[in-house]
Structure 1
């Protein structure tokens, strides 16, 4: 299954239902440039995410860290981590993604000892899975196996999936490094989510830098540093980019360009067109015609 859009709520939490008929797990194949935005927008979810790059290269931004993942390797993204992705070097990146509830990785009796400490650790937002490492090879093989099991749905396949999940998690733990629980890092992550959440609730309004900083209980300068560290952009640039994201689905409907511009918070059609061209490499009208002609 190819996922072309990731539905998220105002807090950036992904709304996709990550489950098979029985287990709280989902596995799907993603071609990054086929996403409605041309990239995977910023979001987070409670589920643990295990990724295997089938083709090309992906650049992931996870909290403050940027990670390039090459073909044949993978990535673990921890529960609650803000992340986004774009393809590297126009490589037509395709990856298999397994999302699973932390409570389903191991039995409830083992959860407190072997899962909870890892999802709460502040130094484990993500982990590169290297196919040249023996533990990495086992994890990547298990991701592919889970994908096959879900597609084939042979008798008792759910039990086989739980075996593969146990193998994945055991090798994450065996990779072994001291876990850290830094309250300062936790607070930073919380403030970042608060500011982004505020933007997503108020993007149609006249937003100022002071408003965003206030949402994160920060000064203007500190607010800018947070966005620079986490998203490699400025707060107001993020507002513009988010407005353009929100305009994409509207442009595929009957609304004209001027109506869309004002619906997503721009107070000038020409300014909207200019920023849209900078972001999407085409005008809003050209995008609208392209998507309508594409059958969207």
Structure 2
């Protein structure tokens, strides 16, 4: 492991971004920050596998995958259990003078995960930062470190747009719908769905409207209602409450209202009608 933690020259703090510490070949361990961290951090996996959890979502972080998060954003990360190889990371911690580049160009959610994108070319930037900040001339080399950090941030912004452009509209909608179908039993928001494919909620809504003439959430509701019908036919012994929970509804009344709005019949009426039609005459 190579680690640099420079003594920050006060003049550097007036820069838009400046590095506070950085490391290469760092073996990641379990970190739980219930109140977040006090700095921005970019970390990139170089080998092994780990996880990153934030806002109720969990990501597998493997080689070249990259994570950026803001200060005070609760999160948790660490190596995957039962992995033979250690989870190795390069990372940079930094602060800003209040510049809004990160919020406007990278994420409005306080974190971003970039996976399956060409990020290997960023590895030398971490190594260069560590070497630079280990030099004795604090002010000059901290200026150089700020330059390296800015280059890294611009590269990450470029990766964000690369991810956007390389996924077609069909792939985008298929990815979202497949995720919906696999998570009908969980709570899903428009932010969850848009973050999945790294687009804004408004963009995702426009694409759904264009292809399916409805919103992503209304499409999700329809999927849940058809799933509810399937469950009632396949497992008639289940209660309406259990059916609703399997379709992502904690409240039976809300589930019943959505079912009736969709099919103009209550879940109990649908279930009774199906069972009646199955009885021998």
Q: TM-score range by the shorter chain?
A: 0.3 to 0.5
TM-score, with length taken from structure 2: 0.44
Larger CA Rg, structure 1 vs 2: 2
TM-score, with length taken from structure 1: 0.42
